[in-house]
Chain A
Amino acid sequence: NAGVTQTPKFRVLKTGQSMTLLCAQDMNHEYMYWYRQDPGMGLRLIHYSVGEGTTAKGEVPDGYNVSRLKKQNFLLGLESAAPSQTSVYFCASRPSGTGSDEQYFGPGTRLTVT
């Protein structure tokens, strides 16, 4: 049981390039989340999904797109990377149902945009 995994761990992009970050969970969780972590700002929610085939915007969605084609995977895309998207990206998941609001986090992806 690997929990939540993220690919890649590190990436450097040039401004304008595109990339996709992959999050996978093997816990059969309904809900999945993408956050970015910036110094002095904690984690901020980018997008989330409440089930396969659904996505919704979070607090800071601009410049990102997501897809949830399979229940276990949640992809985060940057179509045209900007230096402001330099950050550490965390994926998280949790089961549905009342009393299950704990989120389980992946190890993170450190992205640098030059």
Chain B
Amino acid sequence: GNSVTQMEGPVTLSEEAFLTINCTYTATGYPSLFWYVQYPGEGLQLLLKATKADDKGSNKGFEATYRKETTSFHLEKGSVQVSDSAVYFCALIRRNNNNDMRFGAGTRLTVKP
């Protein structure tokens, strides 16, 4: 079946540290891949996405590259801020059923000043 596996948290970093959150997927065909972010007390917001192999999604200093050969979509940021503290979800949608979005378990990031 289609699924997403992301690194377990929580992750605690100091401000300006480098962030990587690993995400790998299992899917038939070529899914679209997403990172969503959930700030405390809020719903999920789309952070970035990629729809085909080698695409790089980027937003607010975050980046992720769709790697078909390793079935991965790791999230990176070069210098995190306290305001980046949130829960991050990796997700995928299959092309032949774009109503079936599958999410990873989420990774909680805390950034300390």
Contacts and interface: CB of A to CB of B under 8 A. Distances in A.
Interface of A: 4, 31, 33, 40-45, 48, 50, 56, 58-59, 90, 92, 101-103, 105-108
Nearest to A41: B105
B105 A90 contact: no
Nearest to B46: A102
Given A101-B32, A105-B43, A42 B99 contact: no
A10 to B, nearest CB: 11
Nearest to A48: B99
Contact of B101 (A4, A103, A106, A108): A103
Contacts of B100: 45, 58-59
B26 interface: no
Given A102-B49, A105-B43, A40 B98 contact: no
A9 to B, nearest CB: 9
Given A58-B100, A101-B32, A103-B101, A42 B43 contact: no
B44 interface: yes
Contacts of A103: 44, 46, 101
Chain B: number of interface residues, binned into ranges: 20 to 34
A107 B32 contact: no
A102 B43 CA distance: 14
A56 B99 CA distance: 10
B93 interface: yes
Contacts of B45: 105
B103 A42 contact: yes
B41 interface: yes
B89 interface: yes
B43 A101 contact: no
B98 A101 contact: yes
A44 to B, nearest CB: 8
